[in-house]
Amino acid sequence: MTIDWNIGIGAYHESDRVSHSKLRDFAEFGPAYYLARYLTKTVGRRPRTPAMFFGDQFEEFVQRPASFKQRYEIEPEDLDLRKTKEDKCRVEHWKAMYKERPGDIITMDNYRSMEAMLGALREHELGTKLVAASVEQPTILVDHEPFGLQARPDWLCLEGVPETNGVPFSLDLKTCESLTDLMNARSIVRYGYHSQAAMVQRCLAVNGFEECRSFLFAVEKTYPHRAAVIEIEQDLLAVGDEWVQRRLGELARCYLERKWERVIQGITKVGKPSWLSTDAA
């Protein structure tokens, strides 16, 4: 049990410990996928969407600017389809780079959005204060049978600040289409931000920090790039923790019984969800 302030992001992802993202894959794609992806490592990462790439790129843009400059290629501002031979060659060159390195190439439009989004975050007085009081991307490690656990919030403050009444807090950077969908909890539940925060709290509690507040530092990807600090309250965190506990139990059984099913036995029944109205159907 420890909090390591020096583990790099690459080492974190290569670790055999169970993280929230691995647990989400286990829940969504099943035991057989988890075995092949993370234990035998016979399959690679699932295809990532442009939104996922953008989120990764923006996180590095905000938190690791020196690494961002080294890793990413920004599309030249004057790149166009003019009819000179030189310009055609440049266009073909960038098309090839997009195809071969989809996660490492950033369009000029996306880069300008990132600059505007970062500007919005910096305008948020409380958000910048919480960031300044925190340590960036620590790794919280927990011994857990039959596997270890790990969590990695974007920022963590164990001393708290006056605005949190001295209570420790975690803060995670999130990009979104609409702050409204975060504030009504729809996107928080859809993307598992409540269970991600619950995983952090669970790991911190084992390390002796039983009280912790969980914040999202969120910014919209489109104009006007509104930014907000959103707290995930304890009733929603409790739902997330129930999910974490249930999935950890299911994963533990796979380890202990050495059964990694790819078939969901029996009949899975699907009824009318609470959100579906007769008109919508």
Q: Determine, yes or no, domain membership for 64.
A: yes
Total tally of structural domains belonging to the chain: 1
Q: Determine, yes or no, domain membership for 20.
A: yes
Q: Pick the more confident residue, 273 or 214.
A: 214
Q: Determine, yes or no, domain membership for 242.
A: yes
Which residues form the domain of 105? 2-72+101-257
Q: Is the pTM of this model over 0.95?
A: no
Q: Determine, yes or no, domain membership for 240.
A: yes
What pLDDT does 259 receive?
95
Terminal-to-terminal C-alpha distance of the chain: 50
Identity of the highest mean pLDDT range in 14-18, 68-72, 212-216, 265-269: 212-216
Q: Determine, yes or no, domain membership for 198.
A: yes
CATH number, position 161: 3.90.320.10
Mean pLDDT of the chain, nearest integer = 92
CA distance 128 to 133: 9
What pLDDT does 84 receive?
67
